[in-house]
Chains A and B, each alone.
Chain A
Amino acid sequence: MASTKSFVARTSRLSISPLARRRSQISPFVCLPCQQLRHASDNAAKYKRKDTPKTQKKKKTRSTFKEPDLSNAEQFSLCDAMRYIRAFEVGRPPTSAKYEMHIKLRTLKNGPVVRNRLRLPHPVKTDLRICVICPPDSAAADAARKAGASLVGEDNVFEAVKEGKVEFDRCICHVDSLQKLNKAGLGRILGPKGLMPSAKMGTVVKDVATTVRDMVGGAEYRERMGVVRMAIGQLGFSPEEMQRNIKAFVGEVRKDIAQLSDRIAKDVHEVVLSSTNAPGFSLNGDFKGPDSVPTKDLSTL
């Protein structure tokens, strides 16, 4: 063992010594960059690791919402979906469970959103408290009261709101009373609740009575994350009633899209019917499937 070790040592010394001698003769310029190069490559490797995920992240940001391929989806006719939903909702209190509609849009993430009110042919809920801001002794006030507004007035309403009594779900303002409203400074109280009337929302109007009438049976909808959702029917509705409601809703959303702007491309991508306790059923646009049950059977509890 010892002999081999010494031999190795000797040979190594023999082999190194001429090299070392030669290196010492070579000017240090050759050596230095060589060392620097190695350091540089180490640093590059370090930076590289940090850099790569960043670029990947940048790629991930997208300007539109995802549009899943609907060929993967199982779609249902309205009657079939309703039959399943009725089964899922069996024995639930009919006042608390409702049909819901979700309309998925092909749309940009940061563009303008679809937002409006509509009055369904068969209203879902009818106990809405509406406040109308207009001079209390005008013709408009009388008409509003007749149409079903629960609170009408100017100063008395302002004072009640300032005291913190907001006993209404919707607020409409007559055009002539808008200045008074703005002076009263209710934006702080009503704004966060989404009750502050504004022309943009369509809650500052001349014809108060018709707006109230629309609102009593009407419902608001708004696009959130590329989907418009709304309660579309009571559980006791027949398929025909649901069909009318759905047609009205989808038609209204299409109309809103058309009104937005020419440059903005929006389109209905998918329509889903669900309910309070049932899963969502993607609709294929048909009313009845080949082996659906008779429609009159589907309206029983």
Chain B
Amino acid sequence: MSSVLLAMQTTLLNDMRPFGVMAHVMVLFAASAGVVYGSEIGALAGLIIGLMYDSVLTTPLGLASLVLGATAYIAGVFPYLVRDSSWWSKIIAVAMASAIGEILFPVAQAMVGYSGWVQWRVLTVALVVGVVNLVFAPVMLLLTKWTLKETLVG
């Protein structure tokens, strides 16, 4: 599943850039894992997904892994903030976690010395990614339940 999503990320989503921003399906997957299965399993899934994503990026290996792990962990916290989480609150949680994850990328890059990406543009990127992931979150939540059921959850 991660390989297929990564392939979509490097091909289709890399070409289609609404408002000049690339939609981020890897962040969406990590956030969905966090929302569906909680912080711990989410973080595990995020770290593994991130390692795969790292392999096609030019940033230092391991950076996206930490970012996606943190994103999924944060996403896993959101359901605890509402009393009875419904389907739409999960979707909003995925979108918010995605936006936060997108902000974490340049912050993490700055922490290892690549400080040039901390710009106001980050907010635009986070907003666009958040909105796009809000649209695709229902499908991804279903896919996450289906794909992670037999593996990480046990």
Tell whether A and B belong to one assembly.
Answer: no
- Give A contacts to B, CB under 8 Å: none
